[in-house]
Amino acid sequence: MNHFTITEESQIPLVGSLYFGIIDRGTNLLQVRPSCGCNLNCPFCSVDAGPYSKTRATSYEVEMDYLLSAVQEIAPFKGEGIECHIDSPGEPLMYHRLPELVAALKEIEVVSTVSLQTNGTLLDEKKVTMLEAAGLDRINLSIHALDPDLAKQLAGVDSFDIDQVTGAAKSVANSTIDLLIAPVYIPGINDAEIPKLIRFAQEIGAGKRFPPLGIQKFEHYKYGRTPKGVKVQSWWQFFNRSIRPWEKEFCMHLQLDAKKDFGMERRQSLPRVFTKGEKTTVEIRAPGWLNGEQLGVARDRVVSIFSCAKTSGQIRVKIVATKNNIYVGVPV
């Protein structure tokens, strides 16, 4: 796999890509993606990440000062009360300057919350202490099963140790960082584990300011992985056959509301610089995340170019996706 470092000198913008940089989905939350490497190989991964990926060609890492300067520019445009959520198509704790990034984001005047998504495998008491000192507000911890064998199966690597991850969860719960346990519910696979995780969250004191649990609905994605035999639930099935019975059993709130539970609200999005169907010329600047993909640049945005045989220079593309300022093009 290629490893590509994105710096200001690379002339690769930090808006436009799903893989790195900043994603603005039209709310007061900005997704901040400093890297995209992953140390697990979950069989339900939505993006086929991990050491045994069959489609991934490149891993990216953004130089911290360059990433920070982009957030400092974009966050004030969005207004007051911004949450910077550090996430990744992989594992954010693989980013070596993460505590520094958290501390720097907390210094931005309009940023009120800094949160982190992690699988917990690289989290220990020392790192929790460092993140606490940096001012991290919340960790969304992805634990999908407590049974050791199933937990290892759902991690997709033999080195996975659920005791280490639950130990890290307890360290977070005992710190000033809030803890939200965020399992993916995979029907027919971890049905019996979700109640165990609910009890675990209650027992260790997760959710001091934010909800203790954020149970996620499994989805199938074009470039992701789906365990054999798993069928995707409709949202009606997810809420009425799964979430509500668990709410009744445990007498707790599990159907989350983005505004009520996290203070999320609609905000003006960054202006789109391309329209769907438009044809334009882009400059190829880096290999793509997927095999057969290249990253192009035009109008200070990244454009992911699928089915692209060319690896350098300019290319004419048709823009086929523009949602959330994430741009995809195909050669014409």
DSSP 183: P
For tokens 């890290």, name the residue. Answer: 168
pLDDT band at residue 250 using 50, 70 and 90 as cut-offs: very high
How many DSSP H helices and E strands does the chain contain? 9, 15
Q: What percent of the chain has pLDDT over 70?
A: 100
Split at pLDDT 50, 70, 90, the class of 10 is: very high
What is the per-residue burial (b if ≥16 Cβ within 10 Å, else e) of 156-192?
A: beeebebeebbebbbbbbebebbbbbbbbbbbebbee
Mean pLDDT of 268-287: 97
With 90 as the cut, is the pLDDT of residue 264 above it? yes
pLDDT confidence bin for 222, thresholds 50/70/90: confident
Domains of the chain: 2-262 (3.20.20.70), 279-331 (2.40.50.140)
The distance from CA 156 to its chain's CA centroid, rounded to whole angstroms, is: 18
Residue pLDDT, tens place only, 163-178? 999 999 999 999 999 9
CB 123 within 8 A of CB 153: no
The predicted model scores a pTM of 0.96
Predicted confidence at residue 224, as pLDDT, reads 94
Q: Return the number of other C-beta atoms located less than 10 Å from residue 102's C-beta.
A: 23
| Distance in angstroms (rounded) separating the CA atoms of residues 276 and 266 | 23
Residue 1 has pLDDT above 90, yes or no: no
| Average pLDDT, rounded, for the chain | 97
Beta strand 21-24 with 216-217 is unpaired
CA distance 237 to 233: 6
Percent of the chain with pLDDT over 90: 98
CA distance 222 to 284: 24
Is the CB of residue 136 less than 8 Å from the CB of residue 115? yes
pLDDT of residue 223: 87
Grouping H, G, I as helix, E, B as strand and the rest as coil, residue 64 is helix
* Three state DSSP letters for 284-300: EEEECCECCCEEEEECC
| Mean pLDDT, range 141-148, rounded to an integer | 98
> Residues 85-144: pLDDT tens digits?
999 999 999 999 999 999 999 999 999 999 999 999 999 999 999 999 999 999 999 999
**Geometric angle at alpha carbon 6, from 264 and 328, rounded to 5°:** 65
Enclosing H/E stretch for 134 = helix 125-134
Inform me whether the pLDDT recorded for 2 exceeds 90.
Answer: no
Q: Which residues contact 260 (CB under 8 A, 6 or more apart)?
A: none
Q: Which residue in this structure is represented by tokens 């505004």?
A: 259
Mean pLDDT for the stretch of residues 203-222: 96
- Whether pLDDT at 15 is above 90: yes
Cβ atoms of 21 and 33 within 8 Å: the answer is yes
Instruction: Please list the helix, strand and coil fractions of the chain in percent, rounded to the nearest 5, in that order.
Output: 30, 25, 45
Q: Are 301 and 327 in contact (CB under 8 A)?
A: yes
Map 220-283 to HEC letters: CCCCCCCCCCCCCCCHHHHHHHHHHHHHHHHCCCCCCCHHHHHCCCECCCCCCCCCCCCEEEEE
pLDDT of residue 71 exceeding 90, the answer is: yes
**pLDDT over 90 (residue 282):** yes
